[in-house]
Structure formats: structure tokens, C-alpha cells
Amino acid sequence: MATVLAAIVLSPTVRAHARFDVSDLAPPGFSLKYAEATHPRTSTKYSQKGHYVQKIHGLHGRTNGKSAAAVLGSHQRLTGAGFGYQNITSANAYGTQYATEVRFNGHPMYMLVDTGSADTWAVQSDFDCVDYAGESVPRVSCQFGPTYPDSFQYGALDPAQHMFIRYGDGEVVAGPMGYSDVTLGNITVTKQEVCLANTTYWYGNNMTTGVLGLAFPVLTNAYIGSGLDHSSGARIEYSPVFTSMVSQGKVPPVFSIAIDRNSSSGMLAFGGVAPASGMDTSRVAELDMLIINLNNRREASSEFSFYTIIPDGWEYDQVTNSRKYPYIVDSGTTLNYLPTKIAIAINQAFSPPAVYLWSYGAFFTQCNAIAPRVGVVLDGITFWLNPKDLIYHDWADPETSLCMTAIADGGYGPYILGDAFMQSAVVVYDVGEAQMRFIPRPYY
């Protein structure tokens, strides 16, 4: 099951536009190459099948490490290069994450929608909440919403497997793996492998019960055995939710996300394009998806991991920077993480200029500052970021009274286009065609 999507997306096909050499664009410790596809593209018209579409809800508050940024932060610390990701998943940073209703065996729960991770898990009712030292603390300290009240619908895996994740900000989630039906909207993925977490060090939001990971098998975190052994030799790859949804024939290999500005809501659509107001389908950016290998594992060199693209560049403060870098498009990351020089230049263009606060690993400016004109160029189309999306006005650092900006330092990369960008476009993850498409939405 775990290789079904990889087989779909890596078969040879003829591309409609020219490619350039990406092998030299990979940051240290990574490799890049194009993926191929034979599956026909999905129409850019919004989905007419209502049962494929469901709402997502924005949750404002402290952000944490349930994202591609967490994985990249861990990788950068292990390799000892760069500093940009060392603090970016600080639980003190303010932002917005998005959740949707997911059902395990019919039990409804809200789960964070994360295209930067692959595991889907919910916390059990009798879980052990621990602190940073591993000592048990009251369960309310982990700040989950309603916990999952049941066991695995089809039992635990035999032989035993468990999930173990240590996120970039130090959060830990662990628990047994088993099989349950997973339902999103009216789509049910039967006998899906999931985790019921029983040990967590967690910064929650008092609403969500876990995480819905929409990335690929190579990013899963399952290990053989019932203990907490998470050595590389014990790791076993499995089919995550979206991979299973496709392999079971529930939907074509495409999904899309439309985040609505100013309403803390949006749409998630499987098998088509999400309905959204103001879409300009006459100008659709089309970019090839890349295979990015960050750990030199054999399977990672031929399978997708993150949803990775290469933009044409950035426009800001009457400057155009056309140097090409790989970016991950990640709904689980609030901010945009850019190359150091570009991030500093954009933050200096705020009036007054933003300053870097080490305690957060982010840039801050006056809450009433004037944001510069900033846009990312995709397939020749500039997607301008709304100035309102560039400063988080709803929360200020208690010591400085400054507000966080949406432009962060991504170290040596790869970089991230997060929710602050995704509010400017309907984002289509067309895995079958090995392509991402971006449909512009109104600037204001």
C-alpha cells in the first residue's frame, strides 16, 4: 500500500513546459530531482461533488511543531549547519493553524490539517501527559480537545507497531498503531493504520484531538515493537491516509485547500478543486513537484516526501529577486520561511523595520506598522500577500509589545510557503500529475 502513490507519480510522461536543472539547488544534506506522472490532470473547476468537500477552521493562538518546519528544524540541528530553523517551532509564537473534522470508527474529532507530515493520530482518553523532562503532569496541561473514547476498530497491529514522533520544538507523541476506518466528509478510508497516542508532551489549543497528516509514506514514523524504540533499524513505512484514499479508489490522486482571509475558515477538497470565492481560473500557476531527499534513504530518493516546488522568485519593496530555491507548501506552518538575506530585506522594509527576537525565532515589528508590498512569483504570476496577512495583530509580545511578522528566516532551506501565503491562492496538490497548481484569489 505504501508504494501505490509512488508508482503512480514516478512513471514517465511528457511535460508541457521546459525544465531546468535542479540538482544544484538542493541545500546541504538534501537532494532534488523531478518526479514524473501519467495520471491526467484534474480540472481547475471547483468540485461539484459535495461529499468530497469539507470545512476547515482556523485556530488562533500559540503555534507549535506539527509541520514541515519541525522536520527541517530537526534535520538542520543534526547536520550542524545554519540557524534559521532552530527556534521556529517555539510554542510561544503566535499564529493560526487549521483543523477539520475527522472520524475514527464514527467518533468525530477535530484534527490539525498538516500537509507537512504524514502520520494521523488521536490521543486516547487515558493518555499520560508529560512535561519536557518526561514527568507526568495533569492532562489539562497538554490542552487537547475531547479525547478519543474507544480502541482500535480492527485491533492493534500484529506484530506490534508503535508511533514515535519528536517534533522540532521538543513535543513528543507516542502510542500503539492499529487499524480503524477514517472518515473525512463522506469519504471513508477503510482499515487505515493510525496511532492512538498514550504519551504526549504537547502544546494544544483545547480543541483538537490530534493531527491529520496528508504527506507521503516516506515521512511516516512507525516502528516495530510495543516499546518506545525509534531507532532507524526499527522503522517501518506504511500507507498514510491520503495514499490509502487513492489506492482504495475513493478519489483521484489530488486534493486542494482554500483558506479564506479574515474569516478563519476555508475548504478542503479531496479528488478535485475546492470551491472558493474570487478564483481567477484564467491565470493558473503550474509548477512541477520535486522529490526531495533529506536523509539519504533509498526509498526517499524515488518517492515524494514533502510537497516541494521551485518558485521564480520574490518581489518586495520595488526589488525583484529571481534566484531559485526549493520551497515546501505546508498547511501546518503558519509563517513563510525564506532565505536569510531575503527574509532580512523584507523585514527591514516594514515601517518601522522589524527586529529579530531570539526567544521566538521570528521577526517582530510595531503592531501598527506599515507592511511592504510582498509577492512570490509562481510560473510567471505574482501572488501578492495581503498586508493584513504580514503582521499578526491579535497578539503582542508581553515584554516588547511588538507583533510577529509572517516572514521568517529559513536558514539554508529548504524553505516554506505556509498559511500566510496560502490565503492568497487556492492550492491544488495534484499528486497524480506530479504538479502543484495555484489559482489566484482577490488581493483584498
Active-site residue, from 114, 119, 312, 379: 114
Closest alpha carbon to 297 in 217, 214, 195: 217
Active-site residue, from 119, 288, 312, 330: 330
Annotation says 229 is catalytic: no
Three-state SS letters, the chain:
CCCHHHHHHCCCCCCCCCCCCCHHHCCCCCEEEECCCCCCCCCCCECCCHHHEEEEEEEEEECCCCCHHHHHHHHHHHHCCCCCCCCCCCCCCEEEEEEEEEEECCEEEEEEEECCCCCCEEEEEEEEEECCCCCECCHHHHCCCCCECCCCCCCECCCCEEEEEECCCCCEEEEEEEEEEEEECCEEEEEEEEEEEEEEECCCCCCCCEEEECCCHHHCCEEECCCCCCCHHHEECCCCHHHHHHHCCCCCCEEEEEEECCCCEEEEEECCECCCCCCCCCCCEEEECEEEECCCCCHHHCCCCCCEECCCEEEECCEEECCCCCEEECCCCCCEEECHHHHHHHHHCCECCCEEECCCCEEEEECCCECCCEEEEECCEEEEECHHHCECCCCCCCCCCEEEECEEECCCCCEEECHHHHCCEEEEEECCCCEEEEEECCCC
Annotation says 330 is catalytic: yes
Measured CA to CA, the distance from residue 68 to residue 329 in angstroms comes to 9
User: Any residues with CB less than 8 A from the CB of 155 and at least 6 apart, and which?
Assistant: 178, 179
Count the residues in the chain. Answer: 444
Which residues form the catalytic set? 114, 330
